Every structure is written in C-alpha cells, then in structure tokens.
Structure 1
Amino acid sequence: MNYVTYGGVTVGLCILGYEVVTWWPGRKQLMKDPLKHVSRLLPFLLSWCYGCLTTLGVAGLIGTASSAVLGLSNWLGDAALVWGVGEQGGQLAARPTFVPLSGPGACLVLILTAVFIAAVKKASNSGNAGVLKRGAWCGITLGTSAGVAGFAAVPLATTSNWLGDNTYGRL
C-alpha cells in the first residue's frame, strides 16, 4: 500500500488551493450563475477521483506510475517543509478503512486510464490539459491520507468495485 507524508499532503493541498483560487469567480458572479461556475470545476474533480483510484491497490504500470508520483510528491513536499519553513516531514497515518479495488474494479481503472489519456490529449489542443493533470496529481497525493480527502477514497473504491462487478458480471 502507498503511504503519504506531511510533505505529500502539503503538495496535494497546494495544488487544490491553486485550483480553487484560479477557479474562484467571485461571490457576485458565483451567485449570478452558480451552475456555470461550479461546472468549471468538474474536470478537476473527475481527474481528482481518477488519481485517487490509482492509489487504491492498482498494480502494474498504472500503479507504478501512481506510486512514483506519490513518492516524488512526498520528497518534494518534505524538502519544501524542511527548507521552506524549517519543519520536519514524516509519514502520516494511513486511512483506517482501506478498501482495495476488486478485479473488475481494477479493470474499470484501466478503462478510466484510457479515457483520462484521451481527455488529456483532447484538452491539450485547447490548452486545458493542466487542469486534468493537476487534478490527478492532487488525487494521488490526497487519496491515501487519513483526512477528509482520504475518506473520499472509500466511496470511490466501493463505487468502482460495484460498477466493475455489474459491468463484468453481466457479460
């Protein structure tokens, strides 16, 4: 199982903060047309969910890439804590309720990987691929934490397992 450090969570929260600040239209604009403005967050949230799913017991190339991103984020975040604010990094407690993906759930992650790659390729034509990449990166770093973001992994894994079981069970 992947682990996350204080620095890794800090990197994830920095990405999340950056995304929220760049998205924020202002209170007046948000109240005028909330659906329009909230829908602008949807690509980030969907890619966050995908990133979170890749940390939940997925092996192979996808799991290795996810572990590498998490390891790099842990290292970068811990270095930033030590050199930036003089604080020590360290490993955080993992979620107390870890829900691994079932075989069909892992198949769904493979399908989502193909969809994610296609979405990034399509978004790169319009210059919006960064939102998707940041969302997946944020999901990888926050998906294994024991905080609120980590608890989101439980329903994501349960939903993926259910969708996979129902998709492959009916074939």
Structure 2
Amino acid sequence: MNIPTYNLVSLGGVVVGLSIAAWFVTRWWSGNKKHNLGSLRQLAPFALCSLYGMLLILSAGGIIGAAADWTLWGTSAIGDAVLEYGVGGQAPDVTRSSHLALTPGGHGVVIIMTVILCAVWSRRRGFRWDLFASVLCGISLGLSSGLAGVAGYVLSPVVSTAGDFVVGLL
C-alpha cells in the first residue's frame, strides 16, 4: 500500500520545531544547578524522539509516512499563521532540495523504533506528552534546508545502511 505524501516544510514549520526544541532546552537549563555533561542525559529522551520524528518524515509513504506528512502540514500551517498574523512576516518554503528516502532496511528500523516508542507510551503512568512534542519537533525539522535539518540529512544514510546490514540486504 503506497499512500502518497507531499513532504514540504515552510518557515512556519521550522519555527514550530525550533520553538519546541528551545522549550525543552530552556526547561532543562533552568532546572539544573550543575551544567555538566552528566546532566545532558536528561535531554536524551528529547533528542532520541526528535531523531525518530526526523526518520518518520523521511519515510517514503504508507500509513506512518502519511501521518508524519499530515503532522508536518499541521505544524507548518500553525507556524505560518503565527508568522503572518502574529508578527506580520512571511513563511516561504524552506524544504531541502535533495530529498532523501529510506531504504527497505531503514524502513524496518522505523517500524522497530515505532514499536519501542509505543511500548514506552503504553506504560501505566499515562501518555507522555513530552515525547509526543519531541517527535513533532523532529518531524518539523527533518526536511529543513540549512542547519535545522542537518540531522535528518545525516541520519537517513546512517539508518538505512544500518538497517540494510542488520536485515541482510547488503
């Protein structure tokens, strides 16, 4: 089943993603007395879920890829509205010109990561909204050109190669 996706990110979507990242980093910074490498582990769930969101938006299609695409459309629309009506700015398209798609092994890694995230979300403590916001951050930044999207650009070949190697496609 191949559900078409139209992965485009506007400046508004990038602003939403960077705002979520700024929120988490500011909360981490203001909540720590010691700012050392050991305290960085508190940002690990945010970073891992953001990287997962970047992988979702790099998915070629299907239900998960379409959900990520709709999410990207939503964050871009919200960010565009804030830019245009909030500060009177414009929201140009800032999608990277070279679109990277995951290989079949990379798609396998996305499925495995989805199962892991669902296992974490289904714990008895309730739904983790912080992880959901982190995934939104990754989806919003994954296709961005420039520094905001560099992790998505680097992540795609690494995950695809690792997934192909593990499942025996190489």
Q: How many residues align?
A: 164
Q: Are the aligned partners of 1:120 and 1:133 in contact in 2 as well (CA < 8 Å)?
A: no
Cα offset for 1:28? 5.2
Q: Are the aligned partners of 2:14 and 2:148 in contact in 1 as well (CA < 8 Å)?
A: no
Task: Kindly indicate whether residue 91 of structure 2 is the aligned counterpart of residue 89 of structure 1.
Answer: yes
Task: Kindly indicate whether residue 7 of structure 2 is the aligned counterpart of residue 5 of structure 1.
Answer: no
Query: What TM-score do you get using the length of structure 2 for normalisation?
Result: 0.88
Aligned residue in 1 for 2:72: 70
Structure 2 gaps of 5+ residues are 1-5
Aligned residue in 2 for 1:161: 160
Structure 1 gaps of 5+ residues are none
Cα offset for 1:126? 6.6
Q: Are the aligned partners of 2:50 and 2:135 in contact in 1 as well (CA < 8 Å)?
A: yes
Counterpart Cα distance in 2 of 1:69 and 1:27: 32
Query: Equivalent residue of 1:24, what SS?
Result: helix
Counterpart Cα distance in 2 of 1:58 and 1:88: 29
Counterpart Cα distance in 2 of 1:58 and 1:113: 15
Counterpart Cα distance in 2 of 1:103 and 1:96: 22
Counterpart Cα distance in 1 of 2:148 and 2:83: 21
Query: Equivalent residue of 1:146, what SS?
Result: coil
Q: Are the aligned partners of 1:101 and 1:161 in contact in 2 as well (CA < 8 Å)?
A: yes
Q: Are the aligned partners of 1:142 and 1:150 in contact in 2 as well (CA < 8 Å)?
A: yes
Q: Are the aligned partners of 1:97 and 1:154 in contact in 2 as well (CA < 8 Å)?
A: no
Residue type of the alignment partner of 1:49? L
Query: Whose helix fraction is larger, Structure 1's or Structure 2's?
Result: 1
The percentage of counterpart residues that share the same residue type is 35
Counterpart Cα distance in 1 of 2:137 and 2:161: 24
Q: Map residues 1-171 of structure 1 onto 2, 5 A cutoff.
A: 2-25=7-30, 29-31=34-36, 34-35=37-38, 37-92=39-94, 94-122=95-123, 125=125, 129-169=128-168
- Consecutive aligned runs of 4 or more in structure 1 exceeding 3 Å deviation: 25-28
Root-mean-square deviation (Å): 1.9
Counterpart Cα distance in 1 of 2:112 and 2:86: 39
Query: What TM-score do you get using the length of structure 1 for normalisation?
Result: 0.88
Counterpart Cα distance in 2 of 1:158 and 1:106: 12
